[in-house]
Each structure stands twice: as C-alpha cells, then as structure tokens.
Amino acid sequence: MAATRDEVLQVLYGAAMGTAAWPDALDALAGFADSRVVTLDTYDLDAHVGRVLAANVVPDPSIEDYNREFGRGNFQIEAGARHYRPGKVLRTSDFISQKELLRSGVYNHVYKPMGIRWGTGVGLEVSDRHIAEFTFMRALDAKDHSERELERIRSIAPHLLQAWQGYQHRTRLQDSLDVVSSLWDRFDHAVVVIDAKRRIRFANRLAEGLLAAGGAWISRVGRLHMRHLDDDQAFGKQLLTVLEGEPRLLRLSAGPLGNQVVSTLFRLDSKFAALVVTDPARNHPDLRQGLMMRFHLTPAEAEVVNAIVDGEPLRRFSERQAIAYETARSQLKTAMGKNGWRRQPDMVADVLRALLPAALFRA
C-alpha cells in the first residue's frame, strides 16, 4: 500500500534533515507517484555530464553505469534544458520522441536493464550551466505518467524544492566536517572525544589505531577504557571530575603507557571531554597550520600554542626552542589575547572544540 501524502512528506523532510535515509524517502515518492524508480540527480550542461545523487534502488549496477559512462551527453536533459524551471513538473515525452529514446545508449544500457522507460522530472535548481531535478521513472510495461499522477507530483513540488535545499545544506556541512576530520587525521596525537558514560563520539585515525592495538587504552562496546582495572577505575573518577568543571585540564598518570607517552584529559563542555594521547618526541606541523588558519596566529604564536596543547610546560618549550622564556611568554600572551583566552586550560579546550566536528556538541 502506497504511503499517504503526509507520510511521504514526513520521510522526505526526514531525509533532508538527516534523520531518515534518502533511498527510503525516494521509495515513498515512487509509491506516491506510481513510479518504479525515483532519483535525485544533477546535470552539468557545460561538461555534458550527469550524476545520480540518490535513488530508491541503490545499490544498482545500472546507476553506477550511468554515473560512470552513460550520464555523459544525456540527450533527454539537454533537449529539455530550456523547458526546465524550479518547481516545474515536466514529462520527457513532451519534448523527446519515443523512437529517439529507444535508440539511445542511456535507454539500452541503463533504463532497460532497470525495467524503466517513461520519465517525469521536477526542476530544483536551473541555470544555463546546471540542472538539478527529481526524476520519476515508470516501468517498461506501464504507460506514461497520467495527468492525475502529474497533479500528485505537482502537489508536492514545493516540498521537493525544500528537500533539495536541505540536501545541499547537509552536503556542505558534511564537506566541512570532512575537512576538519582530515585535519585531526593529520594531527600527530591520538584524540578521542567521550561523554560522561565514556561513549566514544569521535576518534581520529591515530586514536583508532591506538585502540585497535589493545595497549593501555581500549574500546569496549563503543566505550573508552583502560586495560588495567585500577587505572580504569581511576580514569572514571578523573573523567567525572573534569566534566564537573575543575580542573578543566588534567594530566593523567602515564602508568603502563610508558615514560614517553602523555595522556591529557580536557573538558570541552559539560557533556564532553577529549583525551589526547601525546608522544612529546613527535613533530606535528599540520596542527600548527590549522592553528594559524583558524585562530589567526603567526607561526611563532602557533608554535607555542601547539606546545601548550601538547601539555609541554612553557619553560621547557622555551628551552627546546632556544628562546628566552619571556619571549615565549609574550608570544603566548599575544595569542591568547587575540582569541579572548584568559587561562591556558580554556585555550586548550577551545582549540579542541573549534577543530573537532561541530556535530559532536549537539544535544
């Protein structure tokens, strides 16, 4: 039984907001419009290349064939380009002859293997260079979309436009999260974000390797633990202490980690803390670059902030850099002043918050 209009819109907006899957939303649209296949797709009119972004039949080899080869020079879209308008419902049979369609590569290599033939598009984003649309395809043995079915599609066209806006927003957000996540993957320390129940909300690549190695730090059912019971119990108390607010930064006992590796726990907010496992012998220029870009620091200021984030005392940093302690202190003070940091623990926690994916801190 096909979903009702309200049910269709519910799952459609759910997909747009990230609480439902796009294949499920498109499957609901297919039932609503008596179609076999529904896709969300784009076409670059300059490059003559199309791509299916989502479909109710994923995974399907024919979709992959389209994206890889037969989306190039899609004569249907190019022939109908001048007819497309945002929100307009358009049957391809209105501007493409069926004889031409049945001879085409896209029909014989994509549509026919999928058992589809008749198409209706809803324009979402239309320009001289680019088209985005929802496409409704009917079965080979069916007739073209009737006027009644077109009216049903028209009745939800404004919602399809809104869903497209949601899709774009979430795509841009994911691209942004991918950038910051890749920054942490280049960070030369293991970073794990956990909540009060030790549930792991984020782990960069180095942290994943650390947990998989099964050394001092391990993951059990998605929660962070220390291998030795006494250490683990102490860590649980330390975590709650940090989350309660004082201290905001806590250096943990090295214990079985060895003399070189340092573990530091930072309070990010009332719900989350970050564990940073650091090897002081490592160099980490990539984080310095991130600090300069995100916090508008000079290379010297980024160097000293990076050292403090590592847990290195300022005096030891100045000795390692062969600069006067007062010079290092002045650089740190300037960096903190630029960003409104009053205390070093606040600086460290804000650096972690700023560079970790923002989605971690949503309720």
Tokens 């971690």: give the residue: 360
The radius of gyration of the chain from alpha carbons, rounded to an integer in Å, stands at 28
- Going by pLDDT thresholds of 50, 70 and 90, the confidence category of residue 215 is confident
Contacts 24+ apart (CB under 8 A), 333-339: 334/301, 335/295, 335/297, 335/301, 335/302, 335/304, 335/305, 338/295, 338/296, 338/297, 338/301, 339/295, 339/296
| Measured torsion, CA atoms of residues 241, 242, 245, 249, in degrees rounded to the nearest 10 | 140
Does residue 247 have a cis bond before it (omega within 30 degrees)?
A: yes
Provide the b/e sequence for 90-112 (b: ≥16 CB within 10 Å): bbbbeebeeeebeebebbeebbe
Domains of the chain in start order, with CATH, are 5-178 (3.30.450.40), 180-361 (1.10.10.10)
Which of the pair, 36 or 97, is modelled with greater confidence?
Answer: 36
Say which range, 113-117, 264-268, 304-308, 357-361, has the weakest mean pLDDT: 357-361
**pTM (two decimals):** 0.52
Q: Is 81 exposed, middle or buried (0-12, 13-18, 19+ CB in 10 A)?
A: middle
Residue 173, pLDDT score: 56
- Going by pLDDT thresholds of 50, 70 and 90, the confidence category of residue 197 is very high
Which residues have a Cβ under 8 Å from the Cβ of 138 and sit 6 or more positions away?
34, 35, 36, 116, 117, 118, 119, 144, 145
Q: 139 - beta bridge partners?
A: 116
Residue 227, pLDDT score: 87
CA distances 181 to 176, 253, 278, 358, Å, are 9, 28, 18, 10
How large is the average pLDDT for residues 283-287? 50
How large is the average pLDDT for residues 82-97? 91
